[in-house]
Structure 1
Amino acid sequence: MKRLAITLTLLIALASASSFATIFYSKNEAMELAFGKTATVENLSLFPDEQETAAIQALAKTQLESGMFTFYVGKENDKTTAYAAIETSTVRTKPETLMIVLTPEGELRNVYTLAFHEPPEYQPSAQWYEKLVKKPLAEMELNKGVDGVSGATLSTRSALASIRKVMAVYQIMIKQKAH
């Protein structure tokens, strides 16, 4: 009987621990958020070489985990309206997935939380993300242009690292090559 009680307690604890996982948008819903219903969306797969990787990492102040990076490019009448990238990172022990949307000029336009698996109180608010809009990459650091969120320090650091990475990839792989 004691074993059954311990087993039930463990199962309840595991069930409640996994109940934090929240998926807010599917990929299709995310693309609609980023580009609207009428835009065409193209994939832009980028493969930075060693020099580009070093430049991106220096600019982003974070590591690239992969040798490939994908942007989604929204277009209306063959004109680019925005770029978006989906980034997944580990906050404490569980992942968060963000969609980072940039203007055609590379400014931050929106950040959407697509999925968050940590407890909800650790998630930065939409208002916090709104304060980052149009901030230059150089100011995307906690206490150097961005205020932290009490109780969500790791989440905000993770989000900022993802945003810096996307902005740096844009600057090195898209903007510089266009000029």
Structure 2
Amino acid sequence: MTTRILRWIVIGFLAAGLPIRAAMAEVYYSKDEALELAFGTDAQVEPQSVFLNDEQAAEIERVAKAKLDSKLFTFHVGKKNGQVLGYAAIESHTVRTQPEALLVVLNPAGDLTRAEILAFHEPPEYQPPARWFERLYGRSVDGLVLGQGIDGIAGATMSSRAALDSIRKVMTIYRLALKPEAD
């Protein structure tokens, strides 16, 4: 009798259209596709690893107001005809309970020029739209704080906050650890 009841409960959940976690997962771009979005099809892209020391890591967390998961970070440097086009990082983090991967693209000066969701495993209604990201371009690290010139998105507050944390981390790592090397 319990097996029969359990079967009807499962059928009821499915018939009611309750989401199955795997069905919500969306991967929009592969790594290669993301780097093509960042720099175009004719750019040469080279990975550049950044190894943070303890002082750098502490300063990055303080400035970015976000926790680092690792002291090893990889940027992808886009070049065309020997000229640096910019720097891209793929930042993965947990939004609420599921992962998100975000492409963060900086120009050679370290300004945000593009942010693109590569994969989003939370329910789609929690995903910030592209036009929200576009309003972030050109802002300083200090200007990328929810509620301080950046509007939240109803129903996507945690996603917005996680994206802003990632963008601030990437910009700060670039400014404090990579840019001095590039200069």
TM range (shorter): over 0.9
Aligned residue in 2 for 1:105: 109
Rounded Cα–Cα distance in structure 2 between residues aligned with 1:172 and 1:9: 54
Report % sequence identity.
47
1:7-42 deviations in Å (ceiling 9; x for gaps): 445677786232111111111111100010000000
How much has 1:45 moved relative to structure 2? 0.5
Matched AA of 1:127:
R
The count of residues paired between Structure 1 and Structure 2 equals 179
Aligned residue in 1 for 2:38: 34
Is the Cα–Cα contact under 8 Å of residues 90 and 101 in structure 2 kept in the other structure? yes
- Tell me the TM-score normalized by structure 2: 0.92
How much has 1:2 moved relative to structure 2? 2.1
Which of 4, 16, 22 is the equivalent residue of 2:7? 4
How much has 1:146 moved relative to structure 2? 1.0
Give yes or no for the alignment of 1:141 onto 2:149: no
What are the residue-to-residue correspondences of 1:40-79 with 2, within 5 Å?
A: 40-79=44-83
1:98-134 deviations in Å (ceiling 9; x for gaps): 0000001100000010000111111001000000000
RMSD over aligned CA atoms reads 1.6
Rounded Cα–Cα distance in structure 2 between residues aligned with 1:23 and 1:15: 17
Cα 1:73/1:3, change in 2 over 3 Å: same
Rounded Cα–Cα distance in structure 2 between residues aligned with 1:174 and 1:4: 56
Which of 79, 86, 93 is the equivalent residue of 1:89? 93
> 2:34 aligns to what SS in structure 1?
helix
Give yes or no for the alignment of 1:165 onto 2:169: yes
Which of 16, 23, 31 is the equivalent residue of 2:20? 16
Rounded Cα–Cα distance in structure 2 between residues aligned with 1:47 and 1:175: 13
Rounded Cα–Cα distance in structure 2 between residues aligned with 1:128 and 1:104: 23
Highest CA radius of gyration, 1 or 2? 2
Rounded Cα–Cα distance in structure 1 between residues aligned with 2:23 and 2:165: 26
Rounded Cα–Cα distance in structure 2 between residues aligned with 1:107 and 1:159: 16
Rounded Cα–Cα distance in structure 1 between residues aligned with 2:8 and 2:133: 44
